[in-house]
Structures are given as structure tokens and as C-alpha cells.
Amino acid sequence: MDIEFNKREDQNRLKLSEINRLLSEIKKGGGEKRLQKLREEGKMTARERVEYLLDKNSDSIEIGAFAGYEMYEEHGGCPSGGVVVVMGYVSGKQCIIVANDASVKAGAWFPITGKKNLRAQEIAMENKLPIIYLVDSAGVYLPMQDEIFPDKEHFGRIFRNNAKMSSMGIIQISAVMGSCVAGGAYLPIMSDEAMIVDKTGSIFLAGSYLVKAAIGESIDNETLGGATTHCSISGVTDYKAKDDQDALNRIKKIMKSIGGYEKAGFDRIESFPPKESPENIFGIMPASRAEQYDTYEIIKCLVDQSEYEEYKPDYGKSIVCATARIDGWSVGIIANQRKMVKNGKGEVQFGGVIYSDSADKATRFIANCNQRKIPLVFLQDVTGFMVGSKSEHGGIIKDGAKMVNAVANSVVPKFTIITGNSYGAGNYAMCGKAYDPRLIVAWPWADLAVMGGAQAAKVLAQIQESTLKKQGKVISEEDHKELVDTISKKYQKQTEATYAAARLWTDAIINPTDTRKWISMGIEAANHSPITEKFNLGVIQV
């Protein structure tokens, strides 16, 4: 290992360490005092419930842990969006678990809470995975009700999805382990099986105070909508559990009884670790997003036995296309080459930029993978498409459109790993969030933006300076530098991996050494859902 490798490794591990530190704080939810209060009420915390439910010594991945990060500070914050979402195994069956965190504003729904719940349901629907709801929520966060209640992707969409999943044959199980009020009260009865914890769980459209105000009836919450009421009188719930553990044990028994499923048939053989250690990624990736590196070295750290079969290796070199195995699964890899290369004409091409020949190659490769029913993995470190008269005259827009078309119409499952930059239309062509990857994650140092921070700062500064000059103001060199620095700092904050993850533009910020696990579990999940559509590019300019 050389000195440069060691420097990169130190800087990148520091970045991961910072992400892990933030994650540790986020996992405290509303804070130790509120978590302890839940325990004193006889409850387990949201994360304790999930941990108890999951099979011991089995893999799991958390979706949206950074949701809400540094958002809603004026409302006291909303760590993890006030809900824990995990893909894992219960009684040997892969599933999605959604657990309200009552330590965060009593589990109330912020706008990001709704978005995260919908993402969990989307994953379950795409992959036909069973979904388990551990309900403990005060309902919509009223100060922000206008941002969570009425729109298509708001609170009501949850129950629409309940109905759709039921018709699709997707198993839904609900355990009411705390409050379940107002619109949220529909969720248990729209699930296949529902249970409620005695004395701590309650379900009602309106609590005792609102009932008193609305119709003048005096009644306590337990009589109104407690476990005995709903198991013995209303029939809303199927089982009464004596405590949290009893409810979770019953869920385990239900999951154990679930029958098999029709598989999509993605190919898997015996898994082998890469010959090149995934730990080497820390030393390969540069600390600066502008520096070059060889993408082949990254691929070797991710694929079984570090072996791959490259498609058109001498053509369109700014994108690497290859078939390989990840944890035994057959995959097609599309990766941006981050070092400068020469095309077949001897012309130099910049690393991380998509050129016409590369877009053409990627389009054909995507079509081939669809033909062979091979899941796609995008390793995204892209600064965009090549610009300038030569590229425009060569039809870069046409070739780029073909690639975007292929990504959009691909019917095999897609998985996106943002390893570095994710800028502009390059984000779209390399299967950004808008193009329905089954899972999309970022490495700790990833940047997501319409363009790089330095370029954006210069453009925005030019616009502002032009406005000031029209007003007759003189801009000194010092003023120019101060303006660029101010814009750059603000813009850079918005490009960071944590900013994107907070808004669920990505599902997680992960340790690069966990990349294989995310892809493997993602393909296993996708294997629950047979492909029913045919790949069709539609109308394209050839």
C-alpha cells in the first residue's frame, strides 16, 4: 500500500466514523428520558420491538434511518422520521417491518414520516414481501397537518396501499402496541391479521376528550377502544396480547405458518467473497470528489472472487458494463469510469462523464440484461453528460435519451449505489431515485446535486453579480470571493449524503463493506415478485 492509499483510507474512514456517530444519536429517538418512560409504562421501545422480532444472527438492513435529519428543528426535530423501517427475516421469512417510535412526539406523523411509511409499502409492493406494522402513534402532527393530510402522497395513501396490497395477496400483519387513532385506526382492520396489547394498546377514531366535546359522552379511553373492547365487543382485532413480547411472539408464529411463493427465477449459485477485500475501497476512493481513480478496482472489491466478464471493453470506455456475481447472484454492473480514458479514435475522455459511445453501449447492455433476466447494479459516480459543440453535433442528447429510455423501461430489478458524484442528468441515466431502483444507497462521501458545488457557486455568483451591476453597484475582487464562498458553503451543504438521506432521496448511507449485503438482500426480495412485463424501448431516435 502506498502513502496516497493510506491518506485516502484515513480520510474516508473518518467520514464513515462521523456518519456512524450521527446514526448512533439518531437511534436514541426522542432521547433516553422518553425511551425510559416507555419502558416504565411496560412497553418496549420501537427498536427493541424490531430487534426482538427479527431472527437472531440474521442479516437485516434499515431503510431511511436518516429520514428527517436536521429537518423540523423548530418543532423539536423528528429523528428517523419517527418510525423505524427494516428489511429482515422473521421466522425465516423475508419481510418489511414498520415500527412507530413513540419516543418522538408520541409517534406523531410529520411529512417525512408519511413519505417513509409510503417508501416501506412501496418496497413491500414491488417485491411482494410480507409487511408487519408495529403501531404506536398519536396520528398526524397537527401543526403540520396541511403537509401530511390531503394530497396524493400523504397520510391517506397508506390505507389505499393497504387495500391494494391485500388485493395483490401481500400479507399484512398489525400489532397495536400503543395509540392508534383517527385515520390510523383503519390500518389494523385493513391488515390480514391484527392484535392489540392489553392496557397499553388502543384504537379509536376519536379519543375520550374529543368524544366528550363532539357528542357529550363521558367515557375513558380503555372502555372506548382498549384491547377488551376490540377483541370481545367490536371484533376489530383478532387477538389480545398480554404484553409487547406476547404480541411479537404471536407475529413470529403467524410468519412461521406462511406458505412458499412463486419465484422470479434470478440465477444464484454458491457465494464466494471477493479476492480483493472490500476494505480496500477506503483507500481506493479519493477524498476529493474531483480526483480520479480506476473504477475496475472498486468492482473487484464487490464481486465474487473479484471476477467479471466485461461487455464491449474497447468501446464507450467512460462507462464500464460487465456481468458478475454478488453473493452468488448473477448481476449486470453499469459503472462510471472515473479516470481519463481514450476512445477508439484516440480522443481523451474525462472520467465520470457520459459520452455518446458510452450511452450507446449502456443502452445495449441494459437490453441484454433484460433479455437474460439479470438484475442491474448501477455504481454511480457521474458528473453528467459531455457538453460542447462536438458532443451536441454528435447527437449526445439522442444517445443520452436512449440510455434514459432503457433505464426507465427496464423490467429487471435495479439497484443503485452512489459511490461518489451524482450530478444532473447523469443521476437520471444512472438510475437515480426517479427511475425506480428497488433500493438506492449512498456511500458516506457521496454528493448529490444538479451540478458540482464549485461550478454551481460560480454560476450563481455570476447571476447575482449581473443583477448588482444592473443596479449600478461595483463588485470588487474581494466582494466576488466572499459571494462565491457564501454560495458555495450553502450549496455544498445541500449536496451532502446526509441531506439527501434526510429527504429519502436515498434509502440509506451505508458502509461500503455492506454493499454486497444490500444488493444480495435486495435481489432476494425481488425474487419474490415474478416479472410480468416485457422490456420495450418504445420510440427512440436511432
Give the tens place of pLDDT for each residue, 237-265: 999 999 999 999 999 999 999 999 999 99
Q: Is residue 130 within 8 Å of residue 93, measured between CB atoms?
A: yes
Kindly give the residue spans of alpha helices, DSSP state H, lying in 46-191: 46-53, 111-127, 156-167, 186-189
Name the least confident of 57-66, 338-347, 523-532: 338-347
Please give the DSSP secondary-structure letter assigned to residue 386: -
pLDDT band at 423 (very low <50, low <70, confident <90, very high): very high
pLDDT exceeding 70 applies to what percent of the chain?
97
pLDDT (tens digit per residue) in 42-68: 999 999 999 999 999 999 999 999 999
Q: What is the pLDDT of residue 125?
A: 98
List the beta strands (DSSP E) in 383-528: 384-385, 414-423, 439-442, 447-449, 508-509
Given 3-state DSSP classes, what are the helix, strand and coil percentages for the chain, each rounded to the nearest 5? 45, 20, 35
Which residues share a beta bridge with 203?
Answer: 180
Q: Taking residues 290-304, what's their average pLDDT?
A: 96
- Please check the confidence at residue 467 and state whether its pLDDT lies above 90: no
Alpha-carbon span 101 to 48, nearest angstrom: 10
Alpha-carbon span 18 to 441, nearest angstrom: 17
To the nearest 10°, report the CA torsion of 450, 452, 458, 463: 0
> For cell 451536441, what's the residue?
392
Q: Taking residues 424-450, what's their average pLDDT?
A: 95
Q: What is the pLDDT of residue 239?
A: 96
pLDDT band at 185 (very low <50, low <70, confident <90, very high): confident
- Please check the confidence at residue 452 and state whether its pLDDT lies above 80: no
